[in-house]
Structure 1
Amino acid sequence: MFEEISDYFLALAYVGFAISLMAFIPIYTKKIKITYIIPLLVMGAVIYWLEAPLPWPDPLWEFNFGKIVTEVIVIISLMTAGLKVGTNYTWGHWKKPLSLIVITMPLFMVAVFCLAHFVLGLHGAASLLLAAVLAPTDPVLASELQLEEHQDLDEKNTGLRYTLTAEAGINDGLAFPFVFLAILLSESGSLAEIDWWHFAWYYVLFKIVVGLMVGAVIGFIYSYAVSFHTDREKKYILKGFIALALTFFSYGLAEGFGTYGFLSVFATGVFMQYYRPADTDKNINTTMVHFIEETEKLLVALWTIFFGGAVMSGILSFTDWRGMLVALAIVVVVRPLFGYLAMATTNFSTAKKWAIGFFGIKGIGSFFYLSFALMHGTFEGYRELFGIVSYVVLFSIVIHGLTSLRVIDYFKRNNKG
């Protein structure tokens, strides 16, 4: 008994120490131009090697537990993205991230499906699931590439940061229909047995449209209610924890209606600023953005540490060298190529088009989708899927983590695109 209590306190000490370093890590990682995720990953591997008594994945968490952990992190990140984007962008601005949804996302999924099915030999349902879970640009691990704060009407970023932030907010929900299609395929056995009419109107139209509406209404009502209060009263209303509360409220209500909660949360964040005044000092309190952003970083730090432990405990061994090469190709070839194709019609410089295409960061959301699908479908060789996804996320963390801040600095210095 006393040994168990000792392990408990030791675990708390490990976690507390690791998280406390988050106050210092970003300072030094910015100096050497890498993201703070990389040292956290290394720290997780070291703490696992030291045999810290933490609830390590071995190398997987139980599906439901893994789903809940990643789910909470993703929805908080989506609220952060929504708050930063707000309602200050015109249709002309939105066309750029939507191009990544309409062009890049489907072409990316077709390419990943072909690689999984014809190169790795995965069956149809598993190949489709892999394509769906890797399709979204992760709003969590891409946070250092996204908008740094909420945007003003007159002075707002309309380039790389905005495009990637808006894309991540949208496509993290739009991947869900394809996840459900993979689940239906795994249960039915063939595409011919799927009720395509039901899939189209329910899983695609209803869940997307109503999910967005639920979030937009919640954000609009909140913004409208705030507008009736004085500046003094708003100091008590525009608190950071409200963003967190509305995150859970929006997600829970949307999922309760049977819609896509990810889209709802992002829409809530966007429309929370619908009735923002022209005076930027009276807009959505920056404390609100900073609070939920710090909450996001806390949870990301914990997840990254545990992912480092999963890598050490053998999650990469679930696939072979072919899976590793396919994962690398997905990160450095497939996404950059189709991302550039979507940006080809924009007025961005060639360098910025390639940068937006290249930084389709994959991360925590992929593990959520994978856990969710495995809880509801029947997939052969699911362990190999975890291995491939882990390689993709690991490559994304390392490659994008070593390059993203340098690319951002390049565009700042040269003011291109």
Structure 2
Amino acid sequence: MKSYYTVLLIIGITSLIASFLPMVLKKFRMSFTIPLLLIGALMYFLKTPLPWPNPVWDIDITLRFSELVVIISLMVAGLKIGLNYSWNEWKNPLRLIGFTMPLFMLIVFLIAYYLLHFDGPVALLLAAVLAPTDPALASDIQLDKKQKVGSKNVGVQYNLTAEAGLNDSLAFPFVFLAILWSQNDSLGAAEWKEWLWYYLGYKIVIGVIVGVVVGFAYSFFTRKLAQFKRLKIQQAFVALSLTLISYGLAEILDGYGFLSVFLAGLFAHYHQHTKNETIDSDPSLDFITNVEQFLIIFWMIFFGGSLVGGILDFNTIPTLLFGVFLVLIARPLLGYISLYKSGLNTKKKWAIAFFGIRGIGSVFYLTYAIKHGNFEDINYIFSSVAFIILLSIVLHGFTTKRIMPKIDHN
């Protein structure tokens, strides 16, 4: 029984420390995630009674926890962007989705298969889980508030937020392709047919429909209720409710819930945008953002503990070089090329290309695939992905607050 109270004490102390970290770290200009890694490592070393990885993460716990963090982060991203951007302004993040992500996946697959000698399903899985940028750990470089038409950001912050909102969903079909391959000796005509119509077609369409309908329905009904001036909606819980409704409904209908959540966030302000009205029923960004940060704190704690616990031990010199190449060369170069005719200046192009953070979304995809597929070399996959996430967290954590203030003013 005392261990239970010890856990409560640890949670309380850790969350309190994390509350002061942004203020303390302002002088040092680093992300709050880096001290949390160190706290997690220290807590593991002190053998605090928490469910630490041994040495890799527990599949079920990690799957559900990372899933929750990602869907909340996607709602935050959707609510900040809203419907304030034109098609021309959406073209830049779509360049990152349509050019950078597939070419990045191809490079990962070719290196993993031909140079690192992983088998086909594992190489494809690595390509899929490392493709999306992370909507949670990238919060320091994304939009910091709900955008308005007259003062919206169209630079680095907007493009990274929109990219993170979309690519978490669009990497999922390739995770399923890797799962299908792992369950069969090869990808035959039947597997390709199933993948194309169901995983690439049906699930995306359902995800889009559910997200748009949920966001639109919320916007419509709150506009109708706005005529009753004395009735007030409890805004604090709305964003969290929309997250769970859109995600749960999409998954029940076998659609991509990540896509639904992001679109529900976009369309939650539909009538305010199209009717140019101000309605006192906005989903509260403050509440759900605080929930997001609270969950990230403990994800980082466990990740820091897993580093000391040995999750990196299965790496080799080639896999370490592979990770450095992806973070420092492949993503920045492909990102910059995709933005060649974007209209952004050179500094903003390089910043968007450089800040392709890998994180919690990759962990969700990895644990989901391992739970549902039949993959070999699981420990090596975990170790490779963990190193790339660590490299991304440290590199971007030390550079974000130094670079962003000098670049993204609009």
Q: Is 1:372 matched up with 2:368? A: yes
Give the CA deviation at 1:281: 6.2
Q: Deviations over 1:257-302 (max 9, x none)?
A: 01100000000000001011677864663x7111100000000001
Give the CA deviation at 1:61: 3.0
In the other structure, the counterpart of 2:237 is: 241
In the other structure, the counterpart of 1:119 is: 115
Residues 233, 299 of structure 1: alpha-carbon distance in 2 compared, 3 angstrom cutoff? farther
Residues 294, 234 of structure 1: alpha-carbon distance in 2 compared, 3 angstrom cutoff? farther
In the other structure, the counterpart of 1:334 is: 330
Partner SS for 1:57 = coil
- Output the CA distance in 2 between the equivalents of 1:346 and 1:326: 29
Give the CA deviation at 1:375: 0.9
Partner SS for 2:150 = coil
- Output the CA distance in 1 between the equivalents of 2:88 and 2:233: 33
- AA partner of residue 285 (structure 2): V
Q: Is 1:225 matched up with 2:221? A: yes
In the other structure, the counterpart of 1:356 is: 352
Q: Is 1:174 matched up with 2:132? A: no
Contact 2:215 2:269 survives alignment (8 Å) = yes
Residues 380, 281 of structure 1: alpha-carbon distance in 2 compared, 3 angstrom cutoff? same
Residues 141, 235 of structure 1: alpha-carbon distance in 2 compared, 3 angstrom cutoff? farther
Partner SS for 1:236 = coil
- Which stretch shows the higher mean deviation, 316-325 or 37-46? 316-325
Residues 401, 232 of structure 1: alpha-carbon distance in 2 compared, 3 angstrom cutoff? farther
In the other structure, the counterpart of 1:135 is: 131
Give the CA deviation at 1:236: 2.6
Give the CA deviation at 1:197: 2.2
Q: Which runs of 5+ in 1 are unaligned?
A: none
Residues 342, 49 of structure 1: alpha-carbon distance in 2 compared, 3 angstrom cutoff? same
- Identity of matched residues, %: 46
Give the CA deviation at 1:361: 0.4
Residues 402, 150 of structure 1: alpha-carbon distance in 2 compared, 3 angstrom cutoff? same
Residues 27, 117 of structure 1: alpha-carbon distance in 2 compared, 3 angstrom cutoff? same
- Which stretch shows the higher mean deviation, 46-55 or 92-101? 46-55
Within the candidate set 401, 404, 411, 2:407 is matched to: 411
- Output the CA distance in 2 between the equivalents of 1:234 and 1:162: 36
Give the CA deviation at 1:343: 0.7
Residues 233, 173 of structure 1: alpha-carbon distance in 2 compared, 3 angstrom cutoff? farther
Partner SS for 2:149 = coil
**Normalized against structure 2, the TM-score is what?**
0.96
In the other structure, the counterpart of 1:212 is: 208
In the other structure, the counterpart of 1:27 is: 23
In the other structure, the counterpart of 2:97 is: 101
Partner SS for 2:143 = coil
- Output the CA distance in 1 between the equivalents of 2:232 and 2:32: 33
Give the CA deviation at 1:328: 1.3
- Output the CA distance in 2 between the equivalents of 1:271 and 1:281: 15
In the other structure, the counterpart of 2:45 is: 49
Give the CA deviation at 1:212: 1.0
- AA partner of residue 166 (structure 1): A
Contact 2:210 2:246 survives alignment (8 Å) = yes
In the other structure, the counterpart of 1:262 is: 258
In the other structure, the counterpart of 2:194 is: 198
Partner SS for 2:145 = coil
**Normalized against structure 1, the TM-score is what?**
0.95
Give the CA deviation at 1:194: 4.6
Count of matched residue pairs: 409
Partner SS for 1:315 = coil
- AA partner of residue 43 (structure 2): I
Residues 117, 220 of structure 1: alpha-carbon distance in 2 compared, 3 angstrom cutoff? same
Partner SS for 1:121 = coil
Contact 1:276 1:283 survives alignment (8 Å) = no
Give the CA deviation at 1:232: 7.0
Contact 1:276 1:284 survives alignment (8 Å) = no
- AA partner of residue 174 (structure 2): F
- Output the CA distance in 2 between the equivalents of 1:351 and 1:284: 38
Q: Deviations over 1:365-386 (max 9, x none)?
A: 1010011001111111011000
- Output the CA distance in 2 between the equivalents of 1:238 and 1:405: 34
Residues 337, 152 of structure 1: alpha-carbon distance in 2 compared, 3 angstrom cutoff? same
Counting only pairs closer than 5 Å after superposition, residues 58-69 of structure 1 correspond to structure 2 as: 58-69=54-65
Aligned Cα root-mean-square deviation (Å): 1.7
Give the CA deviation at 1:177: 0.5
In the other structure, the counterpart of 2:81 is: 85
Give the CA deviation at 1:21: 1.4
Give the CA deviation at 1:321: 1.9
Contact 1:184 1:194 survives alignment (8 Å) = no
- Which stretch shows the higher mean deviation, 259-268 or 51-60? 51-60
- AA partner of residue 394 (structure 2): V
- AA partner of residue 368 (structure 1): F
In the other structure, the counterpart of 2:298 is: 302
Q: Which runs of 5+ in 2 are unaligned?
A: none
- Output the CA distance in 1 between the equivalents of 2:330 and 2:230: 47
Q: Is 1:9 matched up with 2:5? A: yes
- AA partner of residue 400 (structure 1): H
- Which stretch shows the higher mean deviation, 268-277 or 171-180? 268-277
Give the CA deviation at 1:233: 4.7
Contact 1:35 1:144 survives alignment (8 Å) = yes
- AA partner of residue 80 (structure 1): V
Contact 2:81 2:266 survives alignment (8 Å) = yes
- Output the CA distance in 2 between the equivalents of 1:284 and 1:399: 39
